[in-house]
A and B are shown apart, each in its own frame.
Chain A
């Protein structure tokens, strides 16, 4: 439990002692060893960014403390059994073995309800902290998991334009441009945290790269545990004075080494201890409780990326799908409850998406095959709650598949422009209309 934690007002966020920069890191090291010398470059970079600098953006009124959490539901979530068009006979006829008969009705929608496993999200919608975006997809849909996920990650439908870079990475490239020596600002070092051993393409930028780890204990040098005296030596070899030339590759590696150690200390310190809310025992909740703790510790991280897999429900899907939706809904509820208790919910918006929905007609194994458009979810008290986008027609299908009503990139554009205050045209390489997820949105 966290006894020493004092919730902060969401209106005037302040930093806790978590501000741990290269300078402080080295300062701490200097106390350990009288021989420590502070690299020349540290003075200059630290002066350029005051310790609290990351919290205030150059855009007035847009605090950089705003956080985006992306929840990837991998495998192709069956959108039709998630946000259920129970009032439509087409639905009931097409899914005799797996239709949801007890959907929880939504207030402002006729004949549409949530899968009962999503009750916690239904509740969050009622409390004004969750929204459903219907019919999200893109033109000429691709039904391969890989390819469709690549499209969602890169925000490009043409493979040739992807180049291994993702929408989050490119947005953070835009937010943290390189200096004239080709070096990224210190703050870019942990602008994005991706939970998992391998970061998805979405979070890879040209120079802003994610911090990726499965568990925080793994995010450090593995040599520490191997030999008694080796840690002291490790600290010494990594603190020596750096080359002053900012274009020098050795200086670049030395700087990044320090950034990595700072990030590692921050992350491991942040995730220590418990939460005030009881999180359910499932893989998504485990990741989100870590994220909640990192947000509470006010890490300079702008985007967190987590994943829940298993949505590829080709056979006997009812139980499996209910289980997955329960994990998803319970975890999101616990996450926002925790953020609320620690006073940070106001600065956190989350997007949950899947690479595609599934076909309207169930298959012979009481499962569903790869389809196209599906619902996304957006969470946070700052979001206009309820339903966005119109539900795709079940009469007008394209070869048995729903036709998308919302381009996923207009969801990204809205989140980037109106929440993250990052120019979506630069991040996405094109201009997309906004969906109106935020009250003050432009280009809605």
Chain B
């Protein structure tokens, strides 16, 4: 427990990602099984103890401490775990009781086995055995809410780093394993092979595309598909289970039962999750998809209502196949995988799954025209896939390219600024900008924190500091004099914002020091850009 507590304490105060990785990796290398596995699960959010909740800690605190002093302290600190860690009044232990810090493994075992009614007493006994750092770490581990700025991905990356493995390989087996991940550590230490996960409905890392930057590619080597604006999704069907994963490996099955229930096959496929509608595409393309906004209504939900299923039915436009039945086909070239996908798709419920159309393009000039037309067809752009590319994790140069349509542009006026985080914490780098309405009032239309060079950022930061008219906590309101040319992929109507508009991927493309603020764009112009 002492080592884990030290790790948590240092992670809290470490800002650099590399230093965080080093700290976690060193802990995972130096700590024996099963303790390190449980600790890793705590960091990735894979630990849960149904009977050991924060309310039990609160009960224990109120029994041991003066309730008003505890309450006042809790109000000040803002976090029950930290408050209890700081003010716990330890009692001397009875003679026969175990004293001193507990091991992570023993802690997990006791938390697993405790009955709900006994949890406060267990916490009291555990808190008595630890110092404030140990108490903090054990409450955080027990109650699951670490909130120390470590994502699951970062913890897995640290594991990979600790044992010189590829993080995508780790990600691939991760979902099939349970804490304390003994096969994972055995593999890491070279004692066994990579764990066999063929029967589990688990996530495989996605293959991703590079933006097209080279002038031209040889169209004899590439196929072209439309780039749809939904979310990439992976569907995994095994004999007993179907799972949907987002690009980051999050299990989103519960939010899309209309997809999962209609996937009745064994295999793993990759596609774009979309909602039925007519915003994207037209008669000449493939179409029948709603805007990203419509899909967004359905994302991030634990449960989905019948009304939502009816009004915003989801479907998947299939791009690729990773497993055909139980056969891993990822090493095959795209040109051999696609026919497998063509044969796989008819096994699925029609209307819920269709195939991404291959666009006939003879040469690069023609592709240029196709891409230019994608704005009219309200499609995000085109994808280029090398015919001989295997399906491999991550971005591999030369295999897949995305070529988005040219962005839209608008001249907006800077309204508010906020400091960035990490390396940018001393700089005002997040900007809210607006356009004029008919009454000559500026309304915010978006927020951007990229697109500028380091030099430009320095200039913008200086502008903010010299033109502040108001402060609202971390936010500065500035003199409405600076015009920013903002580039964005598309714009949609939105009820969330006063302007009624929401931009997709806005970034600052130019600082228009030459342009007076009065000549910035009006809201109506932006509204006309809605697809």
Query: Do chains A and B stick together as partners?
Result: no
> Interface of A with B (CB < 8 Å)?
none
